Amino acid sequence: MYTILKSKALAPNIYEFTIRAPLVAKNAKAGQFVIVRIHEKGERIPLTIADFDKNEGTITIVFQVVGKTTHELSTLKEGDSLKDFVGPLGNPSEIERLGSVLVVGGGVGIAPIFPIARALKESGNHVIGIIGARSSDLLFWEDKVKEVCDELIVCTDDGSKGVKGFVTQAMEMVFKEKSDIKRCWAIGPLIMMKFATQVAKKYNVPITVSLNPIMVDGTGMCGACRCTVGGKTLFACSHGPEFDGTLVDFDELIKRGERFKEEEKIAWERYKSMKGGA
């Protein structure tokens, strides 16, 4: 069993757990993910590793409540345990010394962009960070991300903190001011990564995105996480989760992500009725 050592609400419906998982932590690298199952009858859900401590043997995950399983996960407390915590899975980020790089985290994507920014900083890069959310109450880890960035831009859609506007607008600002950005990483909702890719392509900056589609086994056997990249069908779990954003068919991924909405709604309603309207 994998014990929850720390539990924290970061923002409305966004939670941070620190899990004791020594073997996973020992082998974890930036960009990888884990698959979590709460109990024997639980759904398997993929979560990108937000932080890890090899010495302490811990993995940090950050998740947003969007349905039955994530709601059930959010009800767990410190001292509770998870049935399964499988990982690290997927290929790690390709980290090298490039010079000036840009990392962009939107919404819950702020969490998985952190270890990438840290790894880039440790490799001697000049790291410029952009983090954004719809409003200030949904922002988190600002200080944590700032520690691993040489420059950090905070933006909110409604202007309640930092620069008013989307992360893509902040990207435009950075690319206009700095012509030496060698590479960009962007993690967030699919629609955000789609438009971030368009901005990076406009300025001829290579961009890497991290995909987190529906998964089952997470090792390339089931094919549930298939996506079209460069005209080829690839698996996000085993070929990714990171890909060249300019090659990803985001429109197809967005449609596939809505495939089980009705089933998810039914599962959520059934769960609430079992819990007495919780």
175 in the same domain as 70 = no
99 in the same domain as 78 = no
Q: Which of 187, 210, 233 is where one domain is finished?
A: 210
In a domain, 276, yes or no: no
Q: Which of 167, 182, 210 is where one domain is finished?
A: 210
143 in the same domain as 77 = no
CA of 245: how far to CAs of 10, 183, 206, 263, 266, in Å? Answer: 28, 12, 8, 30, 33
Say whether pLDDT at 124 is over 80. Answer: yes
The pLDDT value given to residue 269: 75
In a domain, 275, yes or no: no
State mean pLDDT over 85-102.
94
The pLDDT value given to residue 271: 67
Question: How confident is the prediction for the chain on average, in pLDDT?
Answer: 91
In a domain, 153, yes or no: yes
Amino acid at 249: D
Q: What is the model's pTM?
A: 0.91
114 in the same domain as 82 = no
The pLDDT value given to residue 185: 97
111 in the same domain as 28 = no
The domain containing residue 52 runs over which residues?
2-89
99 in the same domain as 15 = no
pLDDT tens-digit readout, 169-227 = 999 999 999 989 999 999 999 999 999 999 999 999 999 999 987 777 778 788 888 88
The pLDDT value given to residue 169: 94
pLDDT tens-digit readout, 235-274 = 988 998 999 999 999 999 888 777 666 767 777 677 677 7
129 in the same domain as 168 = yes
Q: What CATH number has the domain bearing residue 187?
A: 3.40.50.80
pLDDT tens-digit readout, 56-74 = 999 999 999 988 889 889 9
- 3-state DSSP assignment of residue 37: strand
In a domain, 253, yes or no: no
In a domain, 255, yes or no: no
> What's the total number of domains in the chain?
2
Q: Which of 89, 106, 139 is where one domain is finished?
A: 89
61 neighbors 50 (Cβ within 8 angstroms)? yes
Query: Percent of the chain, pLDDT > 70?
Result: 95
In a domain, 61, yes or no: yes
Q: What CATH number has the domain bearing residue 17?
A: 2.40.30.10
Buried b (16+ CB within 10 A) or exposed e, 171-187: beebbeeeeebebbbbb
159 in the same domain as 130 = yes
205 in the same domain as 98 = yes
In a domain, 219, yes or no: no
In a domain, 76, yes or no: yes
The pLDDT value given to residue 277: 54
The pLDDT value given to residue 215: 77
34 in the same domain as 136 = no
The pLDDT value given to residue 272: 72
190 in the same domain as 131 = yes
Reported in sequence order, the residue ranges of the chain that DSSP labels E, i.e. its strands, are 2-11, 14-20, 33-37, 45-48, 51-53, 58-64, 81-82, 84-89, 100-106, 126-133, 151-156, 163-164, 181-187, 207-210, 226-229, 232-235, 242-244
Range scoring the smallest mean pLDDT among 10-24, 107-121, 264-278: 264-278
203 in the same domain as 135 = yes
